[in-house]
Structures are given as C-alpha cells and as structure tokens.
Structure 1
C-alpha cells in the first residue's frame, strides 16, 4: 500500500454516522472531523484520510437524484487530489445510490466505495468500525501507484460487491446486502481475498466524465395476479412519463391477456421505454423462453437480462437524459455499460 494514498470520506447520513446519547438513548450525528478520535484504529492504515460531510446529513430514505449529483460533484471536484473515495450512506437506499453513481461516473480510474452500518458507530456491538476500516483499506489498495479498484462498489459485512449488482435483503442482520447475479469482488477474512478477474476493466486513456443530469420521469411497476386494465392505463397515462421498469414473473413472463399486451404496445408506440426485469432475486429475464414472454419481445419490450431493479431504474434515468434516438435506445440499454448485467 502506498503511504501517500489519500482517501476522501464523504458522509451523506445514515446510522454509521450516529452516536447514542448515553443519558437519553437518542441517536445524534457525530462530528466527522473527530473521526480519528472515535476510531483510533484508522491510524494504523497507511493512508491519509480527509472528511467531508453533507451540510445537512440525511436519512437514506430521503435520498434523491439531486443528492446523487451532489455526491458525484464532490467526487469530481476532489478527483485529482485523492486516490479513493468512501461514501458513508444509510443502508436502505444504498444499492440505488451505488447503481446511480456507477452510471454517473464514466471512465472511473479510482475506487468509490459505499458503506454504512446496521448499528451506530458508538454501539458496543457495532458493525460500523469493521465496515468503515475495511472500506477505507480497500479504497487505498494500489499497485504500481495505480488504484486496484476502478469502479463503484459497496462494502458490507466482509464482502466488497460491484455496487450496481447489489440489493438490500435484510433489515436486521449484519449481512444486509446480496449480489445475486455476480460474485463478491473481495472477501475480507484474515487477509483480503481479491478476485481480480471479476474487477471492471479500466481504459487509462479515457478521462473521467461526470453525468449530472438524470431524468426522473420513470416508474417501477410490479406485476401481480389481478392487476387490472384501469391500474395499468392510469400508470401509462401519467403526464411526461418516459420509462417503466416492469417487474415480471420468473424469466420475464407476464399475462398474455389482450388488454395487457395492447396497452404495452400502445405505450411503446407513443414513445415509452419499457424494461423487463424479473421479480426473482436471482436469475435473468429471457424473453422468448416461454410463449408468454415471446409476445413482450415482439412488441419491443427491452430485456433487462439479469440486472437488478435498482440498477434498471437508475440506468433508465441516466440513459433518458442522454438524448439517445428512440430506435437505438433498446440496443444501448441491453448493453452492459458498467458491468451491471451479464
């Protein structure tokens, strides 16, 4: 590890940045400039750590695209000065933020690692210390004075995942996240076990491009037995709606009733982009595997393959802001841009 490695810690909010008032039991945000005092173990890391905090830290339930732009802007303006970035974030929407940042930060040559915790940093049994220390250590990894990780990742409970492959699976256990369709990049035990063949390749000839605009005229629609024409018509008829992530059954199946297919076909004809993702935690959409999904493929529904819902909706927001011709949109969406689909 290079002794001059500089890491910027960006605190957005969340449990990890809280400490418990021992008298009242209430959680309060603690001063991140005093981080080294709270976690003296950080001094053992062979890197310099600087901290920056949102002016008003937020609960991750209040995360929104404007805040993603704020995080991306902080990274962009400090990009040349630091070797890696660790974003502290509430766990509830962390997978959405990790996915969004992966699309917003094109040609990354440095690590952006999101982490958080299930318990506050001052708690006796907290997971915050291990998550934070290892996230910083991973962000500091260098080889030949170049970053080992060059993508947006999420570190939680001994595993580093590709950020846009993750989903939150548990509100109570320390292993709160899973990456159902892509293995962990690093596993932390006595040693860090790096699976470098899984890392996203970086083109050193390309400079970082930061995309700050996202189009939020999108919706996620989960199919269920009994969904009716009025509900689907109302959603498709939302003014200015541009894209739908359609959570279908199994490998991309949906009802073949005429009213359903007709509405979907009309929506696509009027310029809506409809992406088919599976409700299943793992596995892939394979339209045409069954007769019931062949109809969706024929009318121009986009295959989300094995993408997560979090990555699908943020990729849709990103691509809709890129002024891609309608005829090319499906091809671009079905192409893996940041390792988000196989």
Structure 2
C-alpha cells in the first residue's frame, strides 16, 4: 500500500467562517480530512501533519523553509508528499520548493481549493484526493500543483482566476497530466519535454544557507520615476526583477532611469527582465528598447514566470556568492522553469 503524508499549511481549503470573514482554523481538521479521503481508503495509507495555519497572503519566505524542513524530516518514509496550501501564493511556494528540492526522486504536490473543504460544493475534496493519487505515482518526480483535474509543473503554475474552480494554467509549458476516474494520465507533450530536460540536465548546487535576500519587483508603467532606483539602492536590495512590457520593453528614452539601472548592474546587483504578459516570455533581441536594456546589463527571464524568477533568484543568492555563477544558474533550466533550448 502506498504511503502519503499530507502537510497542512492553511489556505481556503482549511478555512472556516468567522465574524471577520473566512480564516484558516487552528482547530483539528484531521476528522474532516479523513472524511474527504474515505474514497481512497484501502488503497493508500495517509498520515496528516499540521505545519501551520495561514491565509497564503500571509506567507513569507521564512515559511518556505519551515515547509522544506517538514518535508525533509518525512520524505524518506513516504511514497509522496501533499501540501495543502492557499491559492493566492501557491505559485510562489511551488516554485521555491521546486528549486529547494530540485532532483528529488518522489512527488511533492501542492493543492488547495476555491471553496473551503467544509463548505457546500467545495472543490477541496476532489483536489485533495487527486493530489494524493499524484503524490503516490512513481512516474512523477519533482514538485507539482494539482488543481481541477490537472497536474502542473511547480515552476509553471499561474493563477488566472480569483473565483473559478479551474483557477490555474500551465504557463509556457505542457500540462504534466490529468486525473480522471482516480487515475493519472501523463501527457505526451510533457513526456517529450521531460525527456529533453533530462538530456540537458546539469548538477544543481546545494543551498549554502537560508538567508532571505531582499528582492524588488519593479513593474513598468508609463511615466515611471527614476528615483525608484535610488530607493532600491538605498534600501540594500540584492536583486531586482523588472516586469517590462511585451517582449521586455521599458522606457529607454528615460536616460536618468537607464543610467541608474546601469549603476545597479555595475554594482553586480542582478537585474532581470520579466514580462507583464502571461504567455510567450521575454526576448531582448527583438526591439530597440529590449536590446538597449540588454546593453545596460539587464538579464532576460526568457519564458519564466515572475513567480519562478523571484524564487529562483532568492534561492540562487543563497546558493552562490559569485555573480557569474548566479547568472549561469539563472540562465540554466533546473526544474522545468526555463525552456530547454532546441
């Protein structure tokens, strides 16, 4: 019988109505979870362990390491791990755990719901059962999000809806699989992509420490002020992600802004260009605005999501003290976050 550990961190799936609105409860949810897992009894041995109870809007980077430690303490004793998590920051947590557990030989599955498990017409019970099925499947190795029948690579999950039960898409990457009638079906597209990734696989450095670097996400808007860069420098941020327009555009005619970004690059503060677009990623070699940004030392996020770039940069800064090694890490596919070059 396959053994699966369910770690609870809160989120809508474990929320209850209070006078102040829905809130993850500290009350014992084991009975509720076991009730929803009855359909799987006899097929899986499932243990439940509480990590913390938080609305995922309150998740901070330190929490990722708490979850990491909980996984590491138990993963050798189980066939897979399920993490119940709020949907608002699940993409960030899934991406960070993907880097922290790059190369893991079992499945670590994050799931949640749009309606509390205790509520009417909740999607939580099915998502929970699907997550257990995926976690126990030996074909899956790595970190994934399971939601509304779909299995998504942990570095590619993107929340597209605040209400719809079909809340997540796989961004710039094939869906890993679908779960129907309590069975996991791996997609051919993912199998092909995974084969190419394994061919191009490289060794992943171990995290040196749990430092939480300060990373600033700067969204480009018309008329953006160059003084924002002064703030970033004065506050000691160690990395900057720019959410540019389209393929990586920014107002290069703003000479003061570009000069200050050039100053950051000169200080070897990594500056990475992502995009405000959901699909297709960044290409700094297409337009003059992108090529100018590249000449000013801005790195490309290629087709990575902002969530993946943010967590990869945070993890990378904790894995190496060398700027050159960090750049190499950022431009290397480690766990499906970056398209494998043809």
TM-score, normalising length: structure 2: 0.89
Q: In 2 relative to 1, CA 89–202 (structure 1 residues): closer, same or farther, beyond 3 Å?
A: farther
Is there any run of 5+ residues in structure 2 with no aligned partner, and where?
none
Q: Does 2:192 correspond to 1:197? A: yes
Describe the SS at the equivalent of 2:234: coil
Q: Does 2:153 correspond to 1:162? A: yes
User: Paired residue for 1:281?
Assistant: 278
Describe the SS at the equivalent of 1:246: strand
Q: What is the CA distance between 1:124 and its match in structure 2? A: 2.0
Describe the SS at the equivalent of 1:224: coil
| Structure 1 vs Structure 2 CA RMSD | 2.6
**Contact map agreement 2:208 2:319 (CA 8 A) in 1:** no
Distance 1:298 1:214 in 2: 30
**Contact map agreement 1:10 1:53 (CA 8 A) in 2:** yes
User: Paired residue for 1:144?
Assistant: none
User: Paired residue for 2:15?
Assistant: 18
Distance 1:181 1:171 in 2: 20
Describe the SS at the equivalent of 2:75: coil
Q: Does 2:36 correspond to 1:39? A: yes
TM alignment of 1:7-156, pairs within 5 A: 7-19=4-16, 29=25, 30-35=27-32, 37-44=34-41, 46-54=43-51, 56-141=52-137, 147-156=138-147
Describe the SS at the equivalent of 1:113: strand
Q: In 2 relative to 1, CA 123–45 (structure 1 residues): closer, same or farther, beyond 3 Å?
A: farther
Distance 1:217 1:53 in 2: 29
Q: Does 2:230 correspond to 1:233? A: yes
Distance 2:49 2:93 in 1: 18
Describe the SS at the equivalent of 2:258: helix
Describe the SS at the equivalent of 1:292: helix
Describe the SS at the equivalent of 1:263: helix
Is there any run of 5+ residues in structure 1 with no aligned partner, and where?
142-146
User: Paired residue for 2:179?
Assistant: 188
Distance 1:327 1:49 in 2: 44
Residues paired across the two proteins, number: 330
User: Paired residue for 1:295?
Assistant: 292
Q: Does 2:169 correspond to 1:178? A: yes
Once the two structures are superposed, residues 214-238 of structure 1 have per-residue CA deviations (whole angstroms, 9 ceiling, x without a partner) of 4331110000111012233323x23
